[in-house]
Amino acid sequence: MLYRVTTDTEREALTSRGCHAESWERLLVSEDFRAEQLRNVRFEGDVTIGSNTRIIDSTISNYVIGSNCVVDDVLRMECRHSTTFGEGTRVAAVNENGGRAILIFRELSSQVAYLMTMMRNRTAMVERLQSLVMERVEKHKASMGRIGDNSSVVGARFIREVAIEESCTIEGTSHLENGTVGQGSYVGIDVRARDFIIDNNARVDGASSIERCFVGENSVVSNGFTAVDTLMFANCHFENGEAASVFAGPFTVSHHKSSLLIAGIFSFFNAGSGTNQSNHLFKSGAVHQAVHQRGTKFGSSAYVMSPAIEGPYTVVLGRHTRHHDTQDMPFSYLIEEGGESLLMPALALKSYGTIRDIEKWKSRDKRTLKRDNICFEEFNPFILGKMLRGIDTLTRFQEEDPEAKSYNYNRTTIRASMVTRGIKLYNSAIAASIGSLLEGGDYRSGRYDGTEWIDLAGQYLPLGIVEQIMERIATSQISLQQVQAEFDRLMLEYRDMAAAYAYGLLSQLTGSQPDDGEVEAIIASSHNILNHMREATEADRQRDTGLDMMVGYGYDYREEAEQVADFRNTR
């Protein structure tokens, strides 16, 4: 678009409409500019205004404002110095003392963030990534703030060194400083944000406060939530409570006022009311961390003292202070009983809530950009490997002490009856997983390097392949864009790689390579096993929707038929 200085006639008209400029020569407007677009505006420094943009009752300093924008009642919007708009901000996620701190940038994905944050055993790789980020930051420095086309900034107080991209709405915001608001995002009433990046189509609203934070695509931060040194990736939802030094992988959710998430990594996580963690043992400081792997849920008032780790899809109830490690016991219940941590391995495999969670995440995915790669599959090599290790541990317990009433496992207690049940449930899930993975891809053409798989903040990948990527980064053979492109390419190969993993595992278990007919038979058998598993989860659902749960419905009526009608029409 071509810009020009205002004419003498336009300046007279603007002055009559209450406008003032430190220097009219530093105000550039579009070719089709009309003085009627402005009223009661003070311009300081350099300002550029696009086509059909309206500015009223505001002070603007050193900003480029796009076309079809509205800026109304902004106390002060300014760019006072050369800035990076939040890029390069140091975010001390997971470790509150900064041991895992990373530098955020506009195109940060959960996968790249995971490498920088959680792979500190690969020092050269982390240092190289940080260096690449700083190179990018230096290239993107600017001395002019900007507002993208079709954006609206209304009723804001202070906006300083902020880049607002296309189609954004800033409404009633209190204070924004040193940040980027991604395309299509909304920042609302009384929000305070400093040193931040908000990705596309996110929403920060309701007097929330964020400082040194990355807010991912389609995430929501609302209702007075406060966050500091926190990474929140795609489809997260935070209300009322607070977060400090958190790596919130995709679909991390916390809704309740009394909930505190601190110094940990979360993914597909749901925090019950009063959820709390401690990372400070009053000895060496706030240096401890917790890992709550994919699908973990905390019940009301659940508490975990760091360091601790739970396996995928674990339900945590009560208080746990003994630093448990249950990462190889997925689909478990971890409950407090008499001050002890009681583990019930595999029990969540019978819960309809587990199946509902897995199904709802995919249906609630609102991403369009899809910078964060997310695998939604219930059966996958990452959890399959954990179940195999879990069943080995449970079987060893029985073999070594068959008369025991209970067993100690990584600072938890497993009752003998739970060991027997866990083995049975894991066996079924392992068989269902192998069949599902074989059916889901080309098991003969997929890449498989024989190593275990990891969950890279939403994306399942073989550790060996991730190691190769990290080595290329460490030896300066790959750029930031190429790192992301590699993860994107691997996402397309996931099903074939997973099928190849299942085939390799099956070959190890049977001692030979099954032919296509044997594979088809295994797939058919897995369907039967899965149907049997679903019968158990359906029975669990029926219990939750049965008439025993009708208490409090239709209570104005004595007739059971009326109570049932109210219950059915509500539930």
Q: Residue 192 above 90 pLDDT?
A: yes
CB 178 within 8 A of CB 189: no
Among residues 171, 194, 217, the one where a domain terminates is 194
Work out the pLDDT band at 547, boundaries 50, 70, 90.
Answer: confident
125, burial (CB in 10 Å: exposed 0-12, middle 13-18, buried 19+): buried
Q: pTM (2 decimals)?
A: 0.94
Residue 237 phi, psi dihedral angles, 5° rounding: -145, 115
Task: Average the pLDDT over 340-367 and give the result.
Answer: 91
Domain residues for 165?
A: 1-82+144-194
CB atoms within 10 A of CB 359: 12
Q: What is the number of domains present in the chain?
A: 2
Average the pLDDT over 467-475 and give the result: 97
Cα 470 off chain centre by: 22
566's enclosing H/E stretch is: helix 560-570
pLDDT for the residue 540? 67
Residue 423 has pLDDT above 90, yes or no: yes
Q: Which residues pair with 194 in a beta bridge?
A: 177, 211
Distance CA 34, CA 338 (A): 75
pLDDT confidence tier of residue 304, bands split at 50, 70 and 90: very high
Token readout for 550 is: 């009708």
* Angle made by CA atoms 516, 518, 519, in degrees to the nearest 5: 60
Q: Using the 8-state DSSP alphabet, how is residue 313 labeled?
A: T
* Nearest residue to 349 (alpha-carbon basis) of 260, 234, 450, 428: 428
Residue range 179-202: mean pLDDT, rounded: 98
Examine residue 556 and state whether it is found in any structural domain, yes or no.
Answer: no
pLDDT of residue 343: 98
CB 219 within 8 A of CB 201: no
Say what the pLDDT of residue 537 is: 76
Specify the DSSP class assigned to residue 424: H
101, 102, 106, 110: CA torsion to nearest 10 = -90
- What's the one-letter identity of residue 318? G
Q: Is residue 269 part of a domain?
A: no
Q: Which residue has the higher pLDDT, 570 or 10?
A: 10
Select from 194, 212, 234 the last residue of a domain.
194
pLDDT above 70 covers what percent of the chain? Answer: 99
**What mean pLDDT comes out for the span 386-406?**
97
Strands 276-278 and 303-305: parallel
CA distances from 389 to 98, 310, 314, 529 (A): 33, 14, 16, 20
pLDDT exceeds 80 at position 286: no
Q: Is the pLDDT of residue 273 over 70?
A: yes
pLDDT, position 282: 63
Q: By mean pLDDT, which of 132-146, 149-163, 470-484, 542-556 is the weakest?
A: 542-556
Render the burial of 174-211: b for 16+ CB within 10 Å, e for the rest. Answer: eebbbbbbbbbbbbbeebbbbbbbbbbbbbbbbbbbbb
Per the domain annotation, does 280 fall within a domain? no
Quick check: 22 pLDDT over 90? Answer: yes
Does residue 559 have a pLDDT over 90? Answer: no
Torsion sign over Cα 79, 85, 88, 90: positive
Task: Give pLDDT, residue 250.
Answer: 97
- Please indicate, yes or no, if residue 497 is contained in any of the structural domains: yes
What per-residue confidence (pLDDT) applies to 269? 96
Q: What would the two tokens of residue 164 be?
A: 């607002």
444, pLDDT greater than 70: yes
Q: What residue type is 264 in one-letter code?
A: G
Residue 415: pLDDT band with limits 50, 70, 90:
very high
Radius of gyration of the chain measured on its C-alpha atoms:
28
The confidence score (pLDDT) of residue 200 equals 98
550 or 240, which is more confident: 240
Residue 448 has pLDDT above 70, yes or no: yes
Average pLDDT, the chain: 94
Q: What is the pLDDT of residue 535?
A: 81
**Contact status, residue 347 vs residue 333, Cβ threshold 8 Å:** yes
Residue 229 has pLDDT above 90, yes or no: yes
CATH number, domain of 66, equals 2.160.10
Q: Kindly report, residue by residue over 312-350, the tens digit of the pLDDT.
A: 999 999 999 999 999 999 999 999 999 999 999 999 999
Residue 166 resides in a domain: yes
> CA-CA distance, 170 to 315, in Å (whole number)?
39
Question: Model confidence over 43-52: pLDDT tens digits?
Answer: 999 999 999 9
Burial class for 387, CB neighbours closer than 10 Å (0-12, 13-18, 19+): buried
Does position 76 have pLDDT exceeding 80, yes or no? yes
Q: What pLDDT band is residue 560 in, cutting at 50, 70 and 90?
A: confident
Would 188 be classed as within a structural domain? Answer: yes
Tokens of 19: 């406008």
Can you tell me the mean pLDDT for 354-360? Answer: 88
pLDDT tens digits for range 260-272: 999 999 999 999 9
Rounded CA separation 440/269 (Å): 26
Residue 102 lies in a domain: no
The two tokens of residue 144 are: 């002019």
The answer to the question of residue 537 being in a domain is: no
What letter represents residue 457's amino acid? A
Residue whose token pair is 């009856």: 417
